[in-house]
Structure 1
Amino acid sequence: MTSTQARTTVAELAGAPGPFVSLYLDTSGQVPDTAQQVELRWRAARRQLATAGAPEDLLDTIESFTERAHPGGDTLVVIADAERVRLVRQLPQPPAAEFVAYGPVPHLLPLLRWEQRQLPVLVVATDRVGADIVALQPDGADLTETVAGDTMHITRSHPGGWSQRRFQQRAEDRWEANATLVAGRLAELVDEVRPRAVVVTGDVRAVQFLRDKSSSRVADLLHEVQGPYDTTDAAVDQAADVLRRLAEADVAAVIDAFRRERGQADRATGGISDTLNTLARHQVDTLLLVDEPRLLARPAYAGPKPDQVGATVGALTALGVDEPVQAPVGDVATWAALATGARVIAVPAELADQVPDGIGAILRYTT
């Protein structure tokens, strides 16, 4: 029995043999006995998993993660197959609802829903000397660096008379030169990190110089935040709102594309049966699932391979599966999408009317 704490991506789970443990354990709390509360929650989850048939040695391995889960985050996510732990995450927010299961396919949508909001971003706090830059990346590999320019003549003086204008111009020239240095390094980091946004704050004049000196591909990513955000720590907090709005816009764009393709009777389909059929044929480019437990819990069927999916036992028989297993449609569809290289989008429950029956797909091609 082995465990892994490597940053395995959700997509890398595709094709792993089942059955699977799916655990979303609430590890939140500030009270002194939070660790004891987490232990009690895990004990209840362990009993449920053992009753469902999960191996005891696997549960022992998972327990080692639960013992140190608090205060590492507010949700401990563990996905394991029958042999080993495949993925471990600590999420910063408590789960909407705790979840524990041992079944033929893993429960991945809550994790994917969280990940679709974790966009890479560069945060820049700039002044007339240079800038502090923080790169925040979904895989946790954050980077911080300082770009410092020439400070000579950087402070405006007021000597009066004919020399005042000369001193001011020297200061302006130096600020501009420093902004050029920052813009150059920022362009390199944009190529390296591929951020969804560059959130910039600091001295108003320095921000303007930075915008003027940035190439169009960088300038198009700039989001200036107003207020007393003269440090990267404060700007990082503000960046969360920028990224939230961008993530919501990304989902809205997918929904618009889905509606447009359905309106043209072209590259989109909806409903359990049709969507699962297109997943089985590897046609799906983007899977849309409405994040509403009642809809996602409806039954579907799967075979030993993740692309063997269907709405009925007969659909699986037609795929050559002798003994189909029943599982929630949300899990079956997600698992098939990942196995066939499709993107999965969790659609907020308040937009359920945009996706008939709560499940749909934008297709790569039509037959």
Structure 2
Amino acid sequence: MRLSLLQPVIDRPGPWASVYADDAHDTGDAGNPQELAASATTAQLFALGADEATCGAVHEALLTPRGAPGAHAGRALFAAHGAIVLDTPLPGPPAVPFAAWGPVPRVTPLLAAIGDDPVCLVVRLSRAGADFAVLGGRAAGTGPGAPGERPARHFRAAAEHDGVRRAEEIADAVRGEFESSGAEAVVLVGEERERRLVHGALPEPLRALTYESEHGGRTPDAERDLVERDIAQVRAAQESDHIAQVADRFRAGAGPGRKDVPHSAAGIPALIEAAREHRIDTLLVSPHGADGARQVWVGSDADQLAVRGMELPQLGELRPAAARADDALVRSAAAHGADIVVVLDPERAPAGGLGAILR
């Protein structure tokens, strides 16, 4: 999971207001449901101890819906010290809207909502060349309401070359774009003959990661819905495969020590120790596990976390605060460049819902 989306809230001290809201709105005035919802949320935050400036910032933000009129969507807001630090759409409305106030942002539900967000290179082929678009990875300026898409780049093949030579040129351009974009899969869209020629001209390792959409033609909007469905299926398969691989690596390292597999950690004390020592390579989080809601103690810095509050003064924090274990570990892992994978399948998740593959 690419965590650049979280950077604004990871790098800034709290306390934090975290709000997961239904962003549906109506252009009519019947009962002012938008105003009522915003007021109820800010009243809840104030009752939890939030300062007036932060409550005011949240209230004002909630009065400005991000979605289109009539759309039923959701959003996650994070505010601290009177300012909205992150306001991002959700793929859909939260199952249970809520507001929280605490020393660390309540980001785990956001990660569960947006998923792994794999990066996919979409190549739309024509006889003249190809258009490249990169989906996923939360490209700059995109949010998790739909797959992020970076501006398309066009490649024009030499007009004097025959179909096979043009396909080789395009395949070489696909390879370069794949490597520079950080993509994990490629989807070819276009006429069947052009797709097959380009697919066959790709180097073998990349060919194995390349899929073809049987829909769409030379015009950009041809069978758009079917093409988008095919792309979504490829990205879903990418996500599923990645989660399965991470879960298998975690299980392999959880037994007796072996030099040929990563070592794993589970249980709150072991995870906190690994986080403080910056030894977490990949943090596994399940929203269904009991360990996520367990109380741990944190300070203003991501390294300041402990099982017991009395440990925090030794880490330089004289005013420790209680926080959820999942959010505290996510903050620490993200601050030190670890990957974070949300495992929704209880069969694949670590016991208790939290685990780590260690560096």
TM-score, reference length from structure 2: 0.82
The runs of 4+ residues in structure 1 deviating greater than 6 Å are 29-35
* Displacement of 1:107: 0.7
Taking the aligned partners of 2:129 and 2:332, their CA distance within structure 1 comes to: 49
* Displacement of 1:215: 3.4
The match for 1:325 is: 321
SS in 1 for 2:254: helix
Taking the aligned partners of 1:119 and 1:31, their CA distance within structure 2 comes to: 36
1:74-153 maps to which residues of 2 (within 5 A)? 74-137=73-136, 138-139=138-139, 140=142, 142-147=150-155
In structure 2, the CA distance between the partners of 1:35 and 1:191, relative to structure 1 (3 Å rule), is farther
Letter in 1 for 2:13: P
Asked if the contact 2:116/2:341 (under 8 Å) is kept, the reply is no
The match for 2:145 is: none
Letter in 1 for 2:358: L
Match of 1:235 among 227, 231, 248: 227
Taking the aligned partners of 2:291 and 2:49, their CA distance within structure 1 comes to: 26
* Displacement of 1:333: 1.5
Is residue 2:188 matched to residue 1:200?
yes
Taking the aligned partners of 1:84 and 1:50, their CA distance within structure 2 comes to: 15
The match for 2:254 is: 262
Structure 2's unaligned 5+ residue stretches are: 143-148
Match of 1:312 among 308, 315, 319: 308
* Displacement of 1:350: 2.4
Asked if the contact 2:333/2:339 (under 8 Å) is kept, the reply is yes
Deviation per CA, 1:217-250: give whole Å up to 9, x if none.
Answer: 5424311233x33348342332111111111111
Taking the aligned partners of 1:42 and 1:298, their CA distance within structure 2 comes to: 29
The match for 1:168 is: none
Higher alpha-carbon Rg: 1
The match for 2:61 is: 65
Match of 2:357 among 335, 339, 362: 362
Asked if the contact 2:250/2:356 (under 8 Å) is kept, the reply is yes
Letter in 1 for 2:176: E
* Displacement of 1:48: 0.9
The match for 1:244 is: 236
Taking the aligned partners of 1:69 and 1:122, their CA distance within structure 2 comes to: 31
Deviation per CA, 1:294-320: give whole Å up to 9, x if none.
Answer: 542222211232222122234435545
Asked if the contact 1:225/1:235 (under 8 Å) is kept, the reply is yes
In structure 2, the CA distance between the partners of 1:240 and 1:316, relative to structure 1 (3 Å rule), is same
Letter in 2 for 1:277: E
* Displacement of 1:334: 1.3
Match of 2:334 among 328, 333, 338: 338
Taking the aligned partners of 1:317 and 1:345, their CA distance within structure 2 comes to: 31
* Displacement of 1:89: 1.0
Taking the aligned partners of 2:29 and 2:135, their CA distance within structure 1 comes to: 32
In structure 2, the CA distance between the partners of 1:315 and 1:42, relative to structure 1 (3 Å rule), is same
Asked if the contact 1:121/1:135 (under 8 Å) is kept, the reply is yes
Taking the aligned partners of 2:203 and 2:32, their CA distance within structure 1 comes to: 54
The match for 1:274 is: 270
Deviation per CA, 1:243-298: give whole Å up to 9, x if none.
Answer: 11111111111111111111134621111122112212222121112112754222
Asked if the contact 1:200/1:235 (under 8 Å) is kept, the reply is no
Letter in 2 for 1:359: L
* Displacement of 1:132: 3.9
Taking the aligned partners of 2:223 and 2:168, their CA distance within structure 1 comes to: 20
Q: More displaced, 130-139 or 10-19?
A: 130-139
In structure 2, the CA distance between the partners of 1:256 and 1:130, relative to structure 1 (3 Å rule), is same
* Displacement of 1:151: 7.4
Deviation per CA, 1:162-213: give whole Å up to 9, x if none.
Answer: xxxxxxxxxxx73223323432432332233221211113322111111122
Is residue 2:185 matched to residue 1:175?
no
SS in 2 for 1:77: strand
In structure 2, the CA distance between the partners of 1:340 and 1:127, relative to structure 1 (3 Å rule), is closer
Taking the aligned partners of 1:210 and 1:94, their CA distance within structure 2 comes to: 41
Is residue 2:169 matched to residue 1:191?
no
Taking the aligned partners of 2:158 and 2:339, their CA distance within structure 1 comes to: 47
SS in 1 for 2:346: helix
Taking the aligned partners of 1:316 and 1:247, their CA distance within structure 2 comes to: 37
In structure 2, the CA distance between the partners of 1:251 and 1:32, relative to structure 1 (3 Å rule), is farther
Letter in 1 for 2:202: S
The match for 1:167 is: none
Taking the aligned partners of 2:128 and 2:67, their CA distance within structure 1 comes to: 38
In structure 2, the CA distance between the partners of 1:268 and 1:87, relative to structure 1 (3 Å rule), is same
* Displacement of 1:30: 8.2
Asked if the contact 1:123/1:232 (under 8 Å) is kept, the reply is no
Asked if the contact 1:271/1:358 (under 8 Å) is kept, the reply is no
Q: More displaced, 297-306 or 125-134?
A: 125-134
SS in 2 for 1:333: helix
How many aligned residue pairs are there?
A: 336
Letter in 1 for 2:326: G
